[in-house]
Amino acid sequence: MEDIIVRGAPAEYVCKSGVLDELEDKLQLRGIHQVLIVSGVKSWNAARYYFPNLKKIQVFHTFYEGECSVSEINRVCVLAQSHRVDAIIGVGGGKVLDVVKAAASASRTKSVLIPTLASNCAPWTPLSVIYSDEGVMTHYDVYPMSVDLLLVEPRILVEAPAPLLIAGIGDTLAKWYEADVQIRRLTHPPVALKVAHHTSRLCAEEMFNHAERAILDSKEARVSASFVKVVESIIMLGGMVGGFGDKFGRIAGAHSIHNGMTIAPESHEALHGSKVAYGILVQLLLEQKESEVERLLPFYHKLGLPTSLRDLNIADSWIDDIAVHATREEESIHNMRSEKITASEVAHVMRILESRSLIKK
């Protein structure tokens, strides 16, 4: 069995209303005097009302440009080095935060993350999903150091559009199915993998118990107990699964289906977690778990998660190409079993899912 490397958590994590009021003090405690803020335009507009005036910190600011690509990471890295900053602060969604983690690692600079969306576990995890400049997923980079400081302001997240929260719920639900299919194959899993397995199950339980209420509360911009539980499950629990599970806890079939879908240009408009949620259904059919698919479909419909390519505005003519891309040699879909999963198997179950979804509707 491969060695397990545990990167369980950021060095410091706080989730509470008003947490950004403490940002300057926390930066100074770390000896940070100059920072580069990287944000999207929309994410900065969402966060600026809560963002403090950093009177004792020199601030540089740049807006994220397009994709978490090698060229964008290099651009941010050059800016950080030219300004000689002590930290890079990411304010935004998953791709912005992934750029910051990558640039901070490359420039050996501290990283501070302030998510504006609860759409995936990117704020927690010491890795980045790298895309081409055209938006096609190419690979993952895992970093030796965790995030230095993660601050979650629920009032920012609750103001985000509900579909982004729904996507986060889909991504977090996948933690259970993708970790379980790998860890349950092990006769004697080490303690770290038991932690990951238990945490992945907790991810699913929290989604089943609180997701519907959290979505309703988010639509009314209400920071409720259910909303905070779902947010922390998406960010913290979701991140812990990979943090303790390493290669056995991060991704399996569902994320490979997501990666396969990125070759279809229309998929770039769909949210990461929504595509992963569809990928869960494909993975379960590959596992011959039709009864679990039947159990999930009403939950998906209730929350507004996609159950077909049509729901993602992707034509079914892409199925064969998606299947080929999802089963590339390096894809995590092959972690599901000892034998490689073939493109024809994936295409077959995708067509079953498409026809089943059409009948259901």
Binding residues for NAD(+): 94-98, 116-119, 125, 127, 131
Annotated binding residues for glycerol, as ranges? 171, 255, 272
CB neighbours of 227 closer than 8 A, spacing ≥ 6?
A: 154, 158, 213, 214, 217, 218
Cα–Cα dist 172/277, whole Å = 9
Do 284 and 203 form a contact (C-beta atoms < 8 A)?
no
Cα–Cα dist 295/304, whole Å = 15
Do 116 and 93 form a contact (C-beta atoms < 8 A)?
yes
What distances in angstroms separate CA 335 from CA 105, 149, 178, 181, one per listed residue? 28, 32, 9, 8
List the structure tokens of 243: 């943090």
Q: Tell me the one-letter amino acid at 87.
A: A
Task: Outline where DSSP puts E strands in 99-240.
Answer: 110-115, 127-131, 137-142, 149-152
Cα–Cα dist 322/265, whole Å = 12
Tell me the sheet residues that pair with 13: 150
What is the number of other CB atoms lying within 10 angstroms of the CB of residue 277? 29
Annotated binding residues, as ranges? 94-98, 116-119, 125, 127, 131, 171, 255, 272
Q: Phi-psi region for residue 324, left (φ > 0), alpha (ψ -120 to 50) or beta?
A: alpha
Tell me the sheet residues that pair with 15: 152
